Amino acid sequence: MKTYEYYLKETGNVHSAYYVEAADALGVKYRVLKKHFMVELSFGDKSCYIINAATPLSTATGTTICKRKQLTNQILKAHNIPVPEQKILGSIRDAIEFYKERKDIVIKPIQQIGGKGVSILPRTSKEVQEDYKIAFAVSKGKSSKKVIGEEFCQGDNYRFLVLKDKVLAVARRMPAKVTGDGVHTIQKLIKLENKERKTKLLKPIIIDREVIQKLQKDNRTLQDIPVKNETVLLRYNCNLTTGGTTEECTKEVNDYYKQYAIKAAKCVDCELAGIDIIAKDITKKGSFAINEINYNPGLRLHYKVDKGEVIKVAYPIIKYIKDKYLK
């Protein structure tokens, strides 16, 4: 029996491997046109392509909107969907002024993926300046204004995977963390955790400026020895690519949030989308905000869960594409 690892070796891409695995199981012909990058799916005389994590279910306009975080924010706000307040930061001075006005802020590139260049809760003007420079350096924005300031929203982070009129899965996204054993330092615990992440084909927790700052804010250092079963959070950022973990929680999500996620995907013209929601209590109707939409949602966070059952989301997606192309 073929495993995910087989398809990963065949495609060379962690995202398209899930789609190819599902396609094979559903009798959809495929071929790897460019390893590590592009796969073709065939439906009789019709075909479509999956490029990395991008599928044919997002329009060109939807892709453009989702790539530009401020544009996404503007469109959702215009449709009365809760979003964090944002401001384009044209300079370090703008960033410092935004910080003084709001205090609890996020500084991020106007266009980027995977949480790159995102800094959360800077605590001094000097940190704001450094965070602005980092975001500016990695931003893929085309204009001279490459950085966004955003209000920090309290709550847990959730990824809603939306396909047309349905939420396929919801994953609670947790920041990188280690659990104390009363023996090892935080630095050693990170090393041990990275060995475990490697077996799951996940990227390691990198000890960088953000980790050091988070520990400092919690009055800790890498040489501290946490007590047994003590959880030490290492970041605010929840991306898998920066060491985050996920918990499958679809069944506990109130329908209120699912309906908003579906509405948000439609607003940006994406049949398939990853909607990032921040909410304090996902089990009941309450305040929340949508801080990003992904036109090319990665599937790993639904397959590589630390808690809960895996939902094989690639299968309904490929079936939907198959039915669409065979009409």
Q: Is residue 22 part of a domain?
A: yes
The structure's pTM equals 0.90
Q: Is residue 189 part of a domain?
A: yes
Burial class for 175, CB neighbours closer than 10 Å (0-12, 13-18, 19+): buried
State residue 201's pLDDT score: 83
Q: Does the pLDDT of residue 142 top 80, yes or no? A: no
Q: Does the pLDDT of residue 143 top 80, yes or no? A: no
Buried b / exposed e along 3-39 (16+ C-beta atoms within 10 A): eeeebbebbebbbbbbbbbbbbeeebebebeeeeebb
Helix 125-138, helix 92-102: angle, nearest 10: 130
Q: H-type helices in 35-174, by residue range?
A: 60-67, 69-78, 92-102, 125-138
Question: How far apart are the C-alpha atoms of 142 and 164, rounded to whole Å?
Answer: 31
Shared domain for 102 and 138, answered yes or no, is: yes
Q: Is residue 229 part of a domain?
A: yes
Question: How far apart are the C-alpha atoms of 255 and 259, rounded to whole Å?
Answer: 6
State residue 272's pLDDT score: 98
SS3 155: coil
Q: Is residue 202 part of a domain?
A: yes
Boundary (domain end) residue, out of 235, 259, 286: 235
Question: How far apart are the C-alpha atoms of 195 and 81, rounded to whole Å?
Answer: 41
Give me the mean pLDDT over the 119-148 stretch: 89
Rg of the chain (C-alpha set): 20
State residue 111's pLDDT score: 82
Shared domain for 182 and 225, answered yes or no, is: yes
Say how many C-beta atoms besides its own lie within 10 A of residue 75's C-beta: 19
For 167-193, the pLDDT digits (tens) are: 999 999 999 999 999 999 999 999 999
Where residue 141 sits, what CATH number does that domain have? 3.30.1490.20
Owning domain of residue 139: 85-152
With beta carbons less than 8 A apart as the criterion, state whether 12 and 307 touch: no
Structure tokens at 165: 């009129």
For 66-97, the pLDDT digits (tens) are: 998 889 999 999 999 999 999 999 999 999 99
Count of domains in the chain? Answer: 3
- Cα angle value 221/227/228 (rounded, 5°): 135
Shared domain for 185 and 219, answered yes or no, is: yes
For residue 200, what pLDDT band results from cuts at 50, 70 and 90? Answer: confident
For 282-325, the pLDDT digits (tens) are: 999 999 999 999 999 999 999 999 999 999 999 999 999 999 98
Helix and strand counts by DSSP (H, E) for the chain: 11, 14
Q: Is residue 307 part of a domain?
A: no
Boundary (domain end) residue, out of 119, 152, 185: 152
For 207-252, the pLDDT digits (tens) are: 998 899 899 989 999 999 999 999 999 998 888 888 999 999 999 9
Question: How far apart are the C-alpha atoms of 120 and 152, rounded to whole Å?
Answer: 8
Residue 222 belongs to what H/E stretch? none
State residue 239's pLDDT score: 86
State residue 182's pLDDT score: 97
Shared domain for 184 and 145, answered yes or no, is: no
Shared domain for 183 and 215, answered yes or no, is: yes
Q: Is residue 68 part of a domain?
A: no
Q: Is residue 23 part of a domain?
A: yes
State residue 116's pLDDT score: 80
Q: How far from 255 is each of 158, 160, 252, CA to CA, in Å? A: 14, 12, 9
State residue 172's pLDDT score: 97
**Local structure of residue 270 (DSSP, 8 states):** B
Q: Does the pLDDT of residue 327 top 80, yes or no? A: no
Structure tokens at 253: 């999500």
Shared domain for 137 and 191, answered yes or no, is: no
Q: Is residue 300 part of a domain?
A: no
Phi, psi of 190 (to 5 degrees): -65, -40
Q: Does the pLDDT of residue 114 top 90, yes or no? A: no
For residue 157, what pLDDT band results from cuts at 50, 70 and 90? Answer: very high
